Structure 1
Amino acid sequence: MATVIPSTTITDNVRLSHLAALDVKGADAEKFLQGQTSAQVSLADGEFAPLTCFCTPKGRMLANGQLLRLNAEHFRLILSTSLVASLAAHLNKFAAFYRAELVHNTEVTFIGASDNASSLATSLNVTLPEKPFAQSVNNLTSVIRVPGEMPRWLFCVSDASSLSVVDDEPQKAAWQLEDIRSGIAWLTEAQQDHFLPQMLNWEALGGVSFKKGCYTGQEVVARAHFRGQVKKRLVHAELKANTLPDVGASITNEVDKALGEVVTSVRKDNDSVELLAVMSTKAVEEAMSLYWEGSTVTLLPLPYPLERLDPEQQAASIKS
């Protein structure tokens, strides 16, 4: 990705190979997931696809993703390809006690669309949802409206053999740049067991239900929220550089003290990079000067407030 400049828009149906599908099936699929994930699983009803995450007992994220319901006994988790195997291995330790199975569904093709979304939806005989996190589904396809300024839809297609789909790197970069501008960071293998959900602003995006019962890590996540103990937050920033910083690269002050770390980044043009980084809230509040390897890092506004957004509220707004 270091040499790729994003397209200014998404004109083609682009294959998003960095995403994967982990299917959870069975009579106890909902009950099983309810005890493992931060989402209120019943809200995933085929019309609303909530963000969610899976945590260690210490509240650190093993994976984050989006939860879809395909039918009464079939859920699909969309997450980073790099995390499917490890998350499945972790969850299988608990799935053995339920009538539920986990399957990495490699037959699903993820397609990002914007300008061409309407015609793609027509060809797949699926309704194009209008509101962010809304889902439409038929027997072969699910489609989700993605949040952000650019109108975008994520299609999950069981059979894409008859579709025109491109593997265009500038189009993929444009998709990932819009994720950054939407303030959404998808965890990868390099960042596993590292962040509390709040450090990725997950509760501000509706990715944590504080109204559900227990799940692994729930006590730590709830304590951090109600006691205001989160001292690091996800920020959107711009960097004047012609190379991408590594995942985990330090953001420092003028005396090279680490104040944060890069989560994801994409080239904006030949001379600048946009990124998401987990930063010290003190550094942000005090408007400290920030640098990556001597280059200035400029903070940009996020498109959402840093306050709790209940997924129950999101679900109700989609149906209103």
Structure 2
Amino acid sequence: MRTVAALIYDDMRAFDYAVMAEVWGMDRADGGVPAFELRRCSVDGRPVRMHPGARVEATHGLDGLAGADLVVAPGREDPSAPVPAAIIEALRAAHAGGGTIASLCSGAFVLAAAGILEGRRAVTHWLLTERLARDHPGVTVVPDVLFMEDGGVWTAAGTAGGVDLCLELVRRAHGAAVANTIARRMVTAAHRDGGQAQFVERPVPQMAGGRSAVTATLEWARGHLSLPLTVTDLARHARSAPRTFARDFVSQTGATPAQWLIRQRVTEAQRLLETTDLSIEQVATRCGFGTATMLRRHFARILGTTPTRYRHTFAHT
């Protein structure tokens, strides 16, 4: 996935465009990141107005979508505004041509208007889920995930959910090491667990210094994944009762402690498989799975492949 077509149009959200530009428009060859071609595609190649108060020049007309490995539709300030016929036609052609199609935030409405989400599951900003379901009844709207894929079409939740999706697309195409390098340069997490429910405002227990007890424990746990950590261990570090800690953990991350630990261990396994010559058994031990059998089981469930195949595909990165 080297050629990315950013579909740009008037009133698109400036943040969504900035995410695409930051992930695929920056030269990070010094960090081992491959070169990407980011096409900025608009109707007739015209400049477009972004919301709020910015302007971006196009590099291509809508013909730039043809042949792109990935086409991304950003959100718009008015999600229900009519979509120009030329954009609908270009999106349908790109989809029919086999390219991967994605949307950020309310960009799901653009894909839905083109019929690309018909009969598929999709996500958008939690404030817009009911409207998407009402405006496009043929779309199955999933209210509580950060991003998702259905039949080669990807959609992301609001704002920062677009960061999660873009990094996941990089990870799928180029491996965890490349995605992690981009995430570090952006000073963001390479992977966030849970769904949009974690962003509903609610009281958060604080530790000395103002940090969340859960946040501090997450940082500690990431550095001790080789240990057989339990909810009791995490709760003890957070100076909380296990049941209270588990409840706070879910409310703040959208995942249970066990789910979060497994995902972190799989992510660490990806890094080790890409960057070391450790055996599968050694990787399993380093990540806290204990045995190669457990590593393979969770690897297959989460990534849909085996550790050996993953290493063969991504070790060169």
Normalising to structure 2: TM-score of the pair? 0.31
Normalising to structure 1: TM-score of the pair? 0.31
Largest Rg, 1 or 2 = 2
User: Whose helix fraction is larger, Structure 1's or Structure 2's?
Assistant: 2
Higher relative contact order (CA 8 A, sep 6+): 1
